[in-house]
Amino acid sequence: MILEALNYAATFPLTSAAHRPFIRASVDLWARATRCANAWAEHERRTKASILSAAGKCRQRRTVVVLGSGLLRDVPILELSRLFDTVVLVDLVHLASVRTWIGIKGLRNVRLIERDLSGLDQWLAGETPEPLAFLRQVPYLDLVVSANLLSQIGVGAARQLGEKADADAVIRQLIMAHIEGLAQLPAETCLVTDTSHTVIDRKGVRHDTCDLLHGVSLGLAREEWDWPVIPFGEKDMDYQIVHSVIAR
């Protein structure tokens, strides 16, 4: 708890007022990732491998942008820093622990951008969501990575929209805007996302499954795997929560 409080306190002045409410969730994720390191290791390894596979397809390696960079546990940041001239990390919150780690590693070509990538603010303002339009202004863009972000757009939007009658339709629109935004870029792209949430007991019986993409189809995946987001013992001794993940 002390380390979590210190991370929160150090991150607070580094974060814009609009995004400070999200610091707590980032710190909680940081703490859970530490506790669940063994259970998450394979997911993190496969996510990194997918990103590096996409990087290998780039004809030039000038700028890479990582959307939803988070804790960097699932981002091969050291390799990307060596491969590309510039690495841009985009997320709502960049924890002080992440900033410190980047500094310690001497990654001078890494840039941090604090940004809401959901497009919900645009929708609430009556505009057509184009959350990735800012990428058109990034010079020499050769690779864009969406790292375990897409499902979180829906989760965050659902929390803000509450019981609005059209909430599900809005969430689908935001998810589609992200997918279409990636497709329109003149660069290589790598999309890694969890697609479903399933509660499983120790006998392997599935008790509940939720579609994290609200009916939006991503088409064929290059790879698929399971991610035990909440393994046995994290919240309950008899149940775990497993997310299905695809890379595309």
Question: What's the pLDDT tens digit per position in 125-137?
Answer: 999 999 999 999 9
pLDDT more than 70, % of the chain: 100
pLDDT computed for residue 220 by the predictor: 80
Number of domains in the chain: 1
Residue 224: predicted pLDDT = 96
* 20 has a pLDDT exceeding 90: yes
Q: How far is CA 233 from the centre of its chain?
A: 24
For residues 39-65, give the mean pLDDT. 98
- pLDDT at residue number 166: 87
CA distance 31 to 73: 12
83-111: pLDDT as tens digits: 999 999 999 999 999 999 999 999 999 99
Tokens matching residue 161: 């929209």
pLDDT band of 39, cuts 50, 70, 90: very high
Burial class of residue 67 (count of CB atoms within 10 Å of its CB; 0-12, 13-18, 19+): buried
Q: Which residue has the tokens 């890379």?
A: 247
Residues 6+ apart with CB under 8 A from 49: none
In this prediction the pTM is 0.95
Q: What is the pLDDT of residue 188?
A: 97
Range of the domain at 48: 2-247
What CATH number is associated with residue 27? Answer: 3.40.50.150
